[in-house]
Amino acid sequence: MKRRENDMEKATFAAGCFWHVQQAFSKLYGVVSTTAGYAGGDEKKYPKVTYNQVCSGKTGYAEAVQIEFDPKKVSYEELLRIFWRIHDPTTLNRQGADVGTNYRSAIFYRNKKQKEAAEKSRKETQMRVRGIIVTEISPAGKFVKAEEYHQNYLERHKGAVC
């Protein structure tokens, strides 16, 4: 049976360097595609933002990954569980050596159901971690695809790190 485009859903997460986030979700059963890009920024001032602009910290964008998934094979809640496991949600604007608002922890929801699931998962995760979770939960605005050389970077460059 062929997958139908309208049966798929999207999720967008920011959890530090998008290379790592993309790699974590790309091979997951039920994930159809992943795209490294930028989310959560000033869409009017920067409608076609670039990596260098995002790194400046002036755009408001975060490095993010947009995930297209089949909800019949993997739930949004399972994607959230993976999101919490792959980064430290208690560090503000930082993941490891990467520092700046572009490396913040964020969940960009597309509808009320995703927002409620994100808020519930943050609350549940907070009970299991030390420190205060600083992950933002915001509406998914415009997602800007990152430059082609960022797509599946860790897959193409074995041994590379964020």
Any idea which residues carry the catalytic annotation? 17
9/39 Cα distance (integer angstroms): 17
In which element (H, E) is residue 33 found?
strand 31-39
CB within 8 Å of 133: residues ≥ 6 apart? 89, 90, 105, 122, 125, 126
Are 6 and 55 in contact by the 8 Å Cβ rule? The answer is: no
Are 30 and 69 in contact by the 8 Å Cβ rule? The answer is: yes
Question: What phi and psi, each to the nearest 5 degrees, are found at residue 38?
Answer: -130, 135
What crossing angle do the helices spanning 76-85 and 18-26 adopt, rounded to 10°? 130
DSSP letter (8 states) at residue 39: E
Tokens matching residue 2? 């062929």
